[in-house]
Structure 1
Amino acid sequence: MKKLIYCVSGTEIKTDVFSSSGENVTLACINALSDCTSTTWLYSKHSSSVTVELIHGGIKNNNIERAERLSLGSNCSLNIYKTTEDDRGQYICLQYVNEQKHGTDEQVFLYVLHVSPSSTQTEMRSGSSVTLTCQLFTYDNTCDHLVLNEDLQLFWVNQADVNLPTDSRYQILSSGQCNITLTTTLQNEDNNIEWRCLVKMKNEIKTSASYTVKFMGTKSTFYKNNFRRLSG
């Protein structure tokens, strides 16, 4: 998970957080007061969606669908356990003292990377075809903004972190700026091989999600998705 923090117009703090699906994420509230009883966290998936109050006065709202995956950290941060693509969106941390807004509003935009098969793979073996879809789920058109202004890109790489080529062996197609698919016909040496989808911004890796091939008849399950946290 990587995050970028910068000020907007002198009145807001905006943070971009990149995560892979299944990862635990902490969204920091930089200007929170010490006891967290003044802290409120709001959430909206899209600009047109209803804003939901996740935390009010340091107390979690247990009447929301994903309440069991949310908690308030000791520093008033918002913890999200095992993120899914539905967690993407805008989070706002506010401080209220005596019912009056205090300090600077903090906006956190969470982007979630997810890799999935195009269909259930029940007979994965040499000679069979597999299509993997990698998508970065974002808030509204934030993806377009990051691509144009921050040089955000998605890549498929092999276990040696070398970009997979687009050729007769690998067909790599983009469907929109934040959606990239990999289609290939499996060979004998592909059993237990791992392919990773990377999110890069200005040539810096922000997060990644991986897919490990498991042939039919192995002791493991037919396939599994592994999500790797990148720090630094």
Structure 2
Amino acid sequence: MSECHLCLLGLIALSSLLTGISGEDDVHVFISSGEDVRLPCNNAPNNALPRCNSTTWNYNRHSETVELISLGIKRKDTERQKRLSLGSDCSLKIRNISTEDYGSYTCQQWTGVDGKPLRPDAGVYLHVLHVSQTQISSDLSVSLFCRLYSYPRVSCDEWISSEGIHLFWVNRAGVKLNISDSRYQRSSSSDLCIISLTTTLLNEDHNREWRCNVTQGDKVKASAKFTVESSGEKTSPLSVLDSHNVNIKDCLCQKLRN
């Protein structure tokens, strides 16, 4: 199958998911890494006591299903178990979201009789926005990278054309950075949903907060903040402040040493 065919299939799948064709209860949640999130369970019973003893939460991203919650009880054999909790409304709460958490989550209700489901499954698709930086060079040049970890995996071009999802950098006032400002150089990846921002730090940039937004229409879905620490003096390079680095040229993600 050609690459164009694969892109088209991915776009059709994304449109189906976001418009609810794949399931009337499917929802999409956007969150910034490091924050806490609540994934709603839209098929939770209203009058069962205890309410969540029929609830099971599953996670899937690599065609492998992992059971996180089993009939209201948190599984202890998962990597996420210390960060998970079940809300009184049967929602799934995840603390300190990381880029490893993006993917598909499914809330199920079981009767416990003959293994039959009580209600149709309710799907939640979690998308994680993450900002990282390169090492600050001796001339105080730094590059920031903002990536939207989306499921199913699609490019920014597909997000824009199908659902009006945009990824961009904003200034301190929350206004999109002026593309004519020569101080900033920007680039993006047509494969992964990544945008970069390269600049030379000034004295007033010490402890400045940089922000990347993902929007749908005129609504901000998530905002990732990042603070670059620099004395504003041309000294030896500072250590990397984040363990993730993105190479825009070949669209690969690699780990940097802390």
Q: TM-score range by the shorter chain?
A: 0.7 to 0.9
Q: 1:173 aligns with which of 169, 173, 187?
A: 187
CA deviations on 1:71-101 (whole Å, 9 max, x unpaired) are 1111111010100010000000011112211
Kindly report structure 1 stretches of 4+ aligned residues shifted beyond 6 Å: 221-225
Q: Which residue of 1 aligns with 2:253?
A: none
| Superposition deviation, residue 8 in structure 1 | 3.1
Give 1 or 2: higher strand fraction: 1
Q: Scaled by the length of structure 2, what TM-score is found?
A: 0.75
Gaps (5+ residues) in structure 1? 226-232
Q: Which residue of 1 aligns with 2:207?
A: 192
Gaps (5+ residues) in structure 2? 1-16, 243-258
Q: Which residue of 2 aligns with 1:109?
A: 125
Q: Scaled by the length of structure 1, what TM-score is found?
A: 0.82
The 2-side partners of 1:130 and 1:16 are apart by 33
Distance change (3 Å), C-alpha of 1:9 and 1:222:
closer
Distance change (3 Å), C-alpha of 1:93 and 1:179:
same
Q: Which residue of 2 aligns with 1:146?
A: 159
Q: Which residue of 2 aligns with 1:25?
A: 37
Q: Which residue of 2 aligns with 1:93?
A: 107
Equivalent positions of 1:1-232 (< 5 A) are 8-9=20-21, 12-33=24-45, 34=48, 35-46=51-62, 49-97=63-111, 98=113, 99-119=115-135, 121=136, 127-142=139-154, 145-166=158-179, 167-176=181-190, 178-216=193-231
> Which AA in structure 2 matches 1:31?
N
The number of aligned residues is: 213
The 8 Å contact of residues 206 and 232 in structure 2, kept in 1 or not, is answered as no
| Superposition deviation, residue 10 in structure 1 | 8.5
Q: Which residue of 1 aligns with 2:246?
A: none
Give 1 or 2: higher helix fraction: 2
The 8 Å contact of residues 22 and 82 in structure 1, kept in 2 or not, is answered as yes
For CA contacts below 8 A with separation 6 or more, give which structure has more relative contact order.
1
